[in-house]
Amino acid sequence: MESPARRFLPTIPLSVLLILTAALTGYARWMLGYPICGTDEQNYLKIFDWLDNGGVWPISGPGYAELILELRCWTGWETRPLVVAVAALNSSVILPLGLWLLYRLSLDSARSAWQCLPWLFASSYFLGPWLEGRPQQLGMLLAAVGAWRAYRDLQERGRCGVGFFLLWVLCFGYHALSFVILTTLVFGFWARRFVQGRSGYESLATLLLGLAGCLALGALWYPLIWLDIRINHIRGAQVGEFFGALAVGAIAGLLLLHGLRRYQIGPYRVGRLRAGLASPLIHGLIAVGAIAALIWQYAWLGHLYQGVNLGEIVWYQGGNLLLAALFLSGLWRMGRESAPELTFFIESCLILMAFGGVFLALTPWLRDQNWTLRILSYWTWYAAPLAAWGWLGLPERWRWGLLLLSPLLLAGGLHHVLYAPTWTCRVDG
């Protein structure tokens, strides 16, 4: 009789997955010459040079920097090969195993976990952070595990447990943006439970206390990051307006939640939202929003895309468009069929979509207009199960056709990561 452990960890398929991810990593790094200049991996190498020369840098990933510096002292390696080695280990082993286990535990089905991966790996928004040696690479996994833990805690007890808070602090110390994503998700999860009457102000107070504790540690881990945000990310004289708008928005949101809970219309609204997922109008609005985000990227970086023809754009973005289309199909199917195992992912996707919309609204105060796209790179992790659900609802001929197409789209996404026109220089050949 087969043991439960063997059923849970199918050795042969996982070995094939790791061989595939190792081959992709090696092909990108040693055959195609990744990373070229302009990537964040190269930027972090410059940061390490700056630190070695006695400089102080507002690093958004102090845990990652400390990891590299400690490994450098322990191994005696130079910084560049060490960064590459850590990145290659993450992309070829740690992230594939972490992703598969996350999907396996959340979906309670090994088969469903495998069905998520083709659509995830087809997206260049996933492939970039998966391959690149920087804090986000492992930070995304920390954020996903922390979000899953928070979701389970709030669902079962109406409050977050000690395990989540430890993951929260660890994520904060390792990478700032991943911490922001995790924080957004946990407060979004709490908001739904609060409206349903399954969580209360005590849980909110605990979360706020934990957030305050993390930010207090910022003086130790992020000594210059607030200055960096004010100078390099928010338009100078409008810093006060920016944070004021955030505070007003947070207070308005809390008052709205209180009203929904007090008048017991929260469950009604949640039911209406579920019914709305089957509406073509909702799908149209989401599709228009996704297209607008892509157009925003090309408009913002229009001068860099002038030499790129339509065929290259389709080649680069085909996997992203397929993921989005299957995601919409999964939403439509969710409105018609029950799939409680997908609730964590659908909640996470909707929260991050709303968060991306907030950054679009805050564009007038920001120096960089690519924050929505950064959030989109996290969104892909949670959209893949919905994409797989949409794929399963298609006719069998379509399913096989798209599955056979996914390796081609993966190749296009990988070339986009390596040769995107947004890089400050290009590699010949």
Q: What is the DSSP string of 227-274?
A: HHIIIIIB-GGGHHHHHHHHHHHHHHHHHHHHHHHHTT-HHHHHHHHH
Nearest to 150 by CA among 204, 231, 98, 110: 204
pTM of the model as a whole: 0.88
Please tell me the predicted confidence (pLDDT) of residue 84: 93
Query: Which range has the worst mean pLDDT, 190-199, 248-257, 323-332?
Result: 248-257
Is residue 302 scored above 60 in pLDDT?
Answer: no
pLDDT confidence bin for 278, thresholds 50/70/90: low
Specify the range with the lowest mean pLDDT, choosing from 21-25, 59-63, 227-231, 414-418.
227-231
pLDDT value, residue 168: 96
User: Between these two residues, 419 and 184, which has the higher pLDDT value?
Assistant: 184
The pLDDT of residue 263:
66
Q: Is the pLDDT at 288 greater than 80, yes or no?
A: no
Q: Which residue has the higher pLDDT, 248 or 117?
A: 117
pLDDT for the residue 314: 77
Please give the Cα distance from 84 to 72 (Å, whole number). 12
The continuous run of DSSP H or E covering 360 comes out as: helix 343-361
In the predicted model, is pLDDT for residue 1 greater than 60? no
pLDDT of residue 264: 62
Q: What's the pLDDT score for residue 63?
A: 93
Q: Radius of gyration over alpha carbons of the chain, in Å?
A: 22
pLDDT score, position 260: 73
Query: Peptide bond before 35: cis, by omega within 30 degrees of 0?
Result: yes
CB 193 within 8 Å of CB 199: yes
Q: What is the pLDDT, as a whole number, of residue 255?
A: 78
More confident position, 243 or 402: 402
d(CA 109, CA 356): 30
Whether pLDDT at 136 is above 90: yes
AA letter at 122: A
- 10 Å CB burial of residue 161 (0-12, 13-18, 19+) is middle
Residue 111 reports pLDDT greater than 60? yes
Parse the chain into domains and list their residue ranges: 149-225
Pick 354 or 240 by higher pLDDT: 354
**CA separation (Å) from 173 to 135, 143, 371, 399?**
10, 12, 21, 42
The whole-number pLDDT of residue 428 equals 43
Q: How many CB atoms lie within 10 A of CB 308?
A: 14
**pLDDT at 364 exceeding the cut of 80:** no
Q: Greater confidence, 280 or 417?
A: 417
* Tokens 């944070």 -> residue: 243
* pLDDT at residue 411 is higher than 70: yes
Name the pLDDT band for 344 (thresholds 50, 70, 90).
Answer: very high
pLDDT at 116: 95
Question: Do the Cβ atoms of 30 and 92 come closer than 8 Å?
Answer: no
Sign of CA dihedral 77, 81, 83, 86: negative
Bridge partners (DSSP) of residue 366 are 234
CA separation for the pair 385, 104 (Å, rounded): 11
pLDDT-derived band at 381, boundaries 50, 70, 90: very high
pLDDT of 386 > 60? The answer is yes
Q: Is the pLDDT of residue 281 over 70?
A: no
* Each residue's pLDDT tens digit, 29-48: 888 888 766 678 888 888 89
**Which helix H or strand E contains 118, and what residues bound it?**
helix 110-121
Higher pLDDT, 376 or 304: 376
Q: What is the pLDDT of residue 286?
A: 65
Instruction: Give residue 419's pLDDT.
Output: 74
pLDDT value of position 95: 96
Most confident of 332-336, 346-350, 362-366: 346-350
Q: Which comes out higher in pLDDT, residue 133 or 240?
A: 133
- pLDDT tens-digit series, residues 142-197: 999 999 999 999 999 989 999 999 999 999 999 999 999 999 999 999 998 888 88
Residue with tokens 């990108």: 28
Q: Rounded to 5, what percent of the chain is helix, strand, coil?
A: 80, 0, 20
Mean pLDDT along residues 83-105: 95
